[in-house]
Amino acid sequence: MKSIINYFKEILFGLKSLVKGMAVTGHYITHPKEIITQQYPENRESLKMFERFRGEVVLLHDENNEHKCTGCTACEVACPNGSIEIIPKRVEIDGRKVKAIDQFVYHLQMCTMCGLCIPACPTDAIVMANTFEHAVFDRSKLTKILNKPGSKIMDGIK
Amino acid sequence: MNWLYDFTYLTQSIHESLSRNFEQGTVVLIEMILVGLAFMILFALLGLVLVYAERKVSAFFQQRLGPMRVGKWGTAQTLADVIKLLMKEPLINKNADKFLFNLAPYIIMITAFMTMAALPFAKGLQALDFDIGLLYISAVSSLGVVGILLAGWSSDNKYSLIGALRSGAQVISYELSVGLSLLTIVILTGSLQLSVIVESQANGWWIFKGHIPAVIAFIIFLIASTAETNRGPFDLAEAESELTAGFHTEYSGMKFAFFFLAEFANMFIVSALGATVFLGGWMPFHIGGWEVFNNIMDYIPPIFWFFGKVSFIIFLMMWFRWTFPRLRIDQLLTLEWKYLLPINLMNILVMAFLVLMGWYF
């Protein structure tokens, strides 16, 4: 007797779970506003990328063309595939020679967007931008120098 | 506009005008060609519309947009696909059985055509009105598995063979449930003739008149017919994630398109059968005794009722397909032999008892 009850219980439970599943998809089809597909080339103007999307590494500059990079090479060490290359130089600040960056070289073609360089930076100089249109016709364009020409380190950053 | 409500006059007048001009034998020949052409056009339209509908509906079920590029809202997408398939090279495996390989898609298509012939589309719009129409449809539609088995066997491909054998086990099992669930309603109608079944629903559809057992039979019919058409959660014969494409792995070009088209045609046929037996076919929504209401419902032409009901069932089947995960082969057979079949047999018994006592409307 118990097995018979269990048999029908199983059927009812199965039907219930099926209806539950259909309710989920039924919700989707009746709410077309929740569609997540982006009509990409058409909505290029209005497309807003997600904040946490990792597109490329950028070195932040403020309006005085100053950045926070001290050239400590912590990001270069943290990078698992050598996408970051820091070429240092010596500059004179307040009469003493200080290490600074000459070129912050970033190889986009090698970068896997793992984002390990961002937490490694002690001065929060670099961030992951959420740009994504990286296609170029020449490979050499993927090797970028992130510090803008003539930029220098911000005051007080060591 | 009168012809839209009753096709008898239209078909009669065509027949008479042909009879005046030709001999008896020629008239039959011309009529057969006309009917065949009509079905071919219907097939082509069904393919175009259903493929688009399937892609759109599945997209909306998964919060996507589906085809959007070709034409407004992607409406010309299927047309573009057809042109692409027409231009593809028909490849044949080196070790394939060439005769059977070429024959298989035609068997499936012919099966679909033969089944279509007995369906009542509207009042007086039925190619063949057998007195055993229901039996004929369920008998012929099970021939389609021969095409699938041949396709799988002749392809000389292990995936095709596994897919075809799975399909064989599946269709033969679920054939039983389809037949028995239809039989539940046949107890009520007392006839296998489809036109009589439709006429018997003039004062209410069987799913309402037969209440609980009819609803159970309808649910079983939906499940079993989805399995019979190798669709939805029962698409083990194709199982693209495990068997690449199952029985039609090796097919390309137009022969592949035939399989694709036959799948949608079968879906239409099964839905039409379900609509005819359970939901009254082309019969408008009538409630026995409510004359005014019935007259209002009669303003909508029967052919729209028929296609409306069919598209409702097709939508349900698409809903199943894009909601439920695919069953394993043992689960598939367990579902049939341990659940659907016993419930179905009990249901028939209950229905027979209800008919005997007159406890239906």
Residue A76 is part of a domain; what is its CATH number? 3.30.70.3270
Q: What is the DSSP string of B26-67?
A: HHHHHHHHHHHHHHHHHHHHHHHHHHHHHHHHHHHHTT----
Q: What's the half-sphere exposure (Cβ side, CA atoms, 13 Å) at B51?
A: 22
Domain count, chain B: 2
Can you give the pLDDT of all 158 residues of chain A as single tens digits? 888 899 889 889 988 998 998 898 888 888 888 888 888 888 888 888 888 888 888 888 888 888 888 888 888 898 898 888 888 888 777 777 777 888 888 998 888 988 898 998 888 888 888 888 888 898 888 888 888 887 777 777 66
Is B323's CB within 8 Å of A32's CB?
no
Among the partner-chain residues B63, B68, B343, the one whose CB lies closest to the CB of A28 is B63
The residue segments making up the domain with residue B241 are 96-357
Distance CA B53, CA B264 (A): 11
Could you tell me if residue A144 is inside a domain? Answer: yes
B 57-96 residues with CB below 8 A of A?
Answer: 57, 59-65, 68
Long-range contacts of A30-35 (CB under 8 A, 24+ apart): A32/B60, A34/B63, A35/B60, A35/B63, A35/B64, A35/B65
Could you tell me if residue B154 is inside a domain? Answer: yes
The residue segments making up the domain with residue A140 are 56-153
**Residue B102 and residue B196 in one domain:** yes
**Residue A19 and residue A61 in one domain:** no
Residue at which a domain ends, from B39, B69, B87: B87
Q: Which residues of chain A does B59 touch, with a Cβ-Cβ cutoff of 8 Å?
A: 37
Among B318, B219, B217, B302, CA closest to B267? B318
Separation of first and last alpha carbons in chain B: 34
Among B203, B174, B173, CA closest to B189? B203
Model pLDDT, residue B250: 82
Among B227, B255, B229, CA closest to B336? B227
Q: Which residues of chain B does A18 touch, with a Cβ-Cβ cutoff of 8 Å?
A: 323-324
Model pLDDT, residue A158: 67
**For residue B359, is pLDDT > 80?**
no
Q: What is the pLDDT of residues B245-279, one digit of tens each?
A: 778 888 888 888 888 888 888 888 889 888 888 88
Asked if B210 and B219 count as a contact pair (C-beta separation under 8 A), the reply is no
List all residues 6 or more positions away from B64 whose beta carbon is below 8 Å from its beta carbon.
Answer: A35, A36, A37
CA B172 to chain centre: 17
What does the radius of gyration of chain B's CA atoms come to, in whole angstroms? 21
Most B CBs within 10 Å, among A20, A35, A39, A40, to test the B interface: A35
Place of tokens 């018997």: B200
Residue A106 burial (CB < 10 Å; 0-12/13-18/19+)? buried
Q: What is the pLDDT of residues A113-123, one digit of tens each?
A: 888 989 988 88
**For residue B2, is pLDDT > 70?**
no
Is A35's CB within 8 Å of B65's CB?
yes
Q: What predicted TM-score, i.e. pTM, was given to this entire model? A: 0.82
How far is the alpha carbon of A32 from chain B, nearest alpha carbon, in Å?
Answer: 7
How far CA A154 is from CA of A70, A74, A117, B227, in Å, comes to 9, 18, 20, 70
With a threshold of 0.90, tell me whether the complex ipTM lies above it.
Answer: no
Q: Which residues of chain B does A32 touch, with a Cβ-Cβ cutoff of 8 Å?
A: 60
Q: What is the pLDDT of residues B224-254, one digit of tens each?
A: 888 888 887 888 777 777 777 778 888 888 8
**Residue B39 and residue B133 in one domain:** no
Among B254, B343, B147, B11, CA closest to A15? B343
Could you tell me if residue A42 is inside a domain? Answer: no
A11 touches chain B (CB under 8 A): yes
